[in-house]
Amino acid sequence: MVEGVDNFKTRYVLNKACISAGKALVSAAVGRFEGQLTTYKPFAAPGVLPCYRCFVPEEPPQDAQVNCAEEGVMGAVTGVIGTLAAMEVLKEILALGESLAGHVLFYDGIDATFRKVALRADPSCPDCARA
């Protein structure tokens, strides 16, 4: 499954559904001039590969959240992240290359840079600790 929703509640629901179904979740997010992309597959390596809740354990307070309508998004950023998300989905379907599972890819449109950061599973995660 691929998601690019703009709220935490929906992401948590999709996270649980994909864990239950044993399906990969390709997750894309954008804001202003930045984007991020990852693939969650905690069932593929329980205790090693994280899920969305491992990465974002709790929803931030409502007053700390911003959405695309308030913040604005540079259309070109959605193009970059959307294209990368589509490639990640194809890699998962075709079992090609190295998955982003266990990593998050950050894109900075202003500096035209990418940064790949390792993610760890939370051994006490309520969503995937028993995956």
Can you give the CATH number for the domain in which 87 is found?
A: 3.40.50.720
124 within domain boundaries: no
51 within domain boundaries: yes
90 within domain boundaries: yes
Which pLDDT value is given to residue 71?
Answer: 77
Instruction: Give the Cα separation of 108 and 130 in Å (integer).
Output: 35
Average pLDDT over residues 96-121: 97
46 within domain boundaries: yes
123 within domain boundaries: no
> What residue numbers bound the domain in which 15 lies?
2-118
Which pLDDT value is given to residue 15?
Answer: 97
126 within domain boundaries: no
131 within domain boundaries: no
Find the length of the chain: 131
Which pLDDT value is given to residue 68?
Answer: 67
**CB neighbour burial string for 105-118, b if at least 16 within 10 angstroms, e if fewer:** bebebeeeeeeeee
pLDDT tens, position by position, 65-95: 666 667 778 899 999 999 999 999 999 999 9
Q: What is the pTM of this model?
A: 0.89
Would you place residue 38 in the very low, low, confident or very high pLDDT band (cuts 50, 70, 90)?
very high
Instruction: Give the Cα separation of 110 and 100 in Å (integer).
Output: 23
Which pLDDT value is given to residue 130?
Answer: 72
130 within domain boundaries: no
Give me the number of domains the chain comprises.
Answer: 1
Does residue 125 surpass a pLDDT of 90?
yes
